[in-house]
Structure formats: C-alpha cells, structure tokens
Amino acid sequence: MKKIYLYGNWKMNMLPEEGEAFCRSLADRITGSLYGSDLVDICLFPPFLTVPSVLKALPGSPVSAGAQDGYFEDRGAYTGAVSMDMVRSAGCTHVLAGHSERRHIFGETDEIVAKKLRKALDVGLKAVLCFGETLEERESGKTIQVVQNQLLSAFQSVPGEHAQDLILAYEPVWAIGTGKNASPDDAQEVCAFAAKLASGTFGGQSRIPVLYGGSVKDSNAGELLSRPDIHGALVGGASLKVDSFLAIYENYRKLSAG
Ligand code: 13P
C-alpha cells in the first residue's frame, strides 16, 4: 500500500477547547494502530489561536500541526498578520499556501502566494501549495492551462534544495464545501499533470506528493485515493469530527486490501 497523506483543514472552526478535545480523542483512536507507521502522515491545520491547544493534546502522537496561512514579511507594521517564523516557533511544521479561500475571499494573487511559499520554505516549514480551477474555467476547457499557470508561478519561487518540503494540493474551487467532488478520473488527470510539471521543474527524483481536496468524505475517499497520482486528501468539512476524518483513510485501506 502506498503512503497516504491525511490532512485536515479546519478553516475558521474549532475553539481552542474544541480542538484540544478533538486531538485527545484522535490520539486515543490511533495509538497502537498503523497510524504511527510510515503509511499514514496526518496533519491538522487549526486556526492560529487553536494551534497551542492542539499541540498540547498531541505529544507522542504521530500527528503534526500546521497553520492555514502565514505572511511573507518577517515582522513590522502588518496588522492582523502572522509571520512564517511565528508559525514555526509556535510549533507548526506545515503551512498552507494559496488556498482558494485565501485567493478568492482575501484577494491573494499568484505573486503573493509565491512570496508566502518562498518564506515558508526559507524558515524550514513544509508548505502545502493549493491550486485549482473555478467552475467557469473547467467548463470552458481551461483547467490544465489555469493549473499550469498557478503552479509555474509558484514553482519559480522554490529553490531546488527546498523542493523536498513542498506538497501540492489540487482543490478545484467548485468542489470545495459543495458536496460535489471531482470524479476520480478528473482528479487523477490533474494530479498526474501537477506531478509531471513538478518533476520537470525540480528533477525526476523530487517525488513531490499531490493531494486532492474538495468534498472528500468516507464514501468517495477510497476511489480517489486509489488513483496512482493522488497521494492523499486535504479535507475540510469531514475533518471536523474524528470519526469522519479517520473513516477517509479506513475506506481507502479497505478498498486497497480488496
Ligand atoms: P471541503 O472538504 O469542506 O470541501 O473543503 C476542502 C478544502 O478546502 C480543504 O482545504
């Protein structure tokens, strides 16, 4: 069985006490199981203020924590912003960059995403670069072009030696929070394209994982995760409950065990 990345983006959900309770329950559920093995990599992305209570509940467990965002400047007069160094020093190992909600609600351009990505990698974080097309772009046949532009713009800011800290997440905008996931064939096609573009840019040995995100739940996870170029899931809604989050991996495991 291939290694699976099971990443949960809590978005603007989970008070500190809720995050702590979730992690205590998650830690109980995964002890002594294969979750501690090299076969599953679990990372949670809580809101900033919930990060400390998540980390408090996780010591000794194989689960890591990441931030949903970080700014590209180191410090200064940037009201409301949190630097990548702050993210790292709070104990996060990962950070998201270019999530579609940051692009579409907060107006982040490819240029801003590229700067954030560069800073995240420079401070030693693993960066999850999100990309994906809108419904209009898909319906007008522009998916690959849009995805290629987003990826190449971001890749320019990644020094070759940092490529091993890069993770990609294909999240079609129309599939996020809508209950309408991309079909396994469509997701595979775009993830394979992204993997090829990454290995063309960083060298064949780079093996950058590509995750799929957008309405992933237990009932569709098995088929999606079984596709050869989909290495994991970036989960929103279904990551808010321990049962539905773990069911995603368990369904994949059942399917691949035959
Ligand atoms: P949903 O799983 O709720 O569609 O969200 C996906 C997502 O945006 C993860 O980053």
User: Can you give the pLDDT of all 258 residues of the chain as single tens digits?
Assistant: 889 999 999 999 999 999 999 999 999 888 766 676 778 999 999 999 999 999 999 887 889 999 999 999 999 999 999 999 999 999 999 999 999 999 999 999 999 999 999 999 999 999 999 999 999 999 999 999 999 999 999 999 999 999 999 999 999 999 999 999 999 999 999 999 999 999 999 997 778 999 999 999 999 999 999 999 999 999 999 999 999 999 999 999 888 886
CA distances from 179 to 55, 137, 217, 220 (A): 30, 19, 9, 11
Helix (H) or strand (E) holding 57: helix 51-57
Who contacts 231 (Cβ-Cβ below 8 Å, separation ≥6)?
2, 3, 4, 5, 191, 209, 210, 211
* Single pTM value for the model: 0.96
Who contacts 197 (Cβ-Cβ below 8 Å, separation ≥6)?
148, 151, 152, 155
**CA 147–ligand 1 middle distance (angstroms):** 18
DSSP 71: B
**CA 124–ligand 1 middle distance (angstroms):** 25
Instruction: Name beta bridge partners: 131.
Output: 170
DSSP 13: -
Q: Which of 14, 130, 211, 215 to mutate to test the pocket of ligand 1 (most atoms within 8 A of CB)?
A: 215
DSSP 50: G
Does 222 show up as a binding residue in the annotation? no
In this structure, which topology does domain 4-257 adopt according to CATH?
Answer: TIM Barrel (3.20.20)
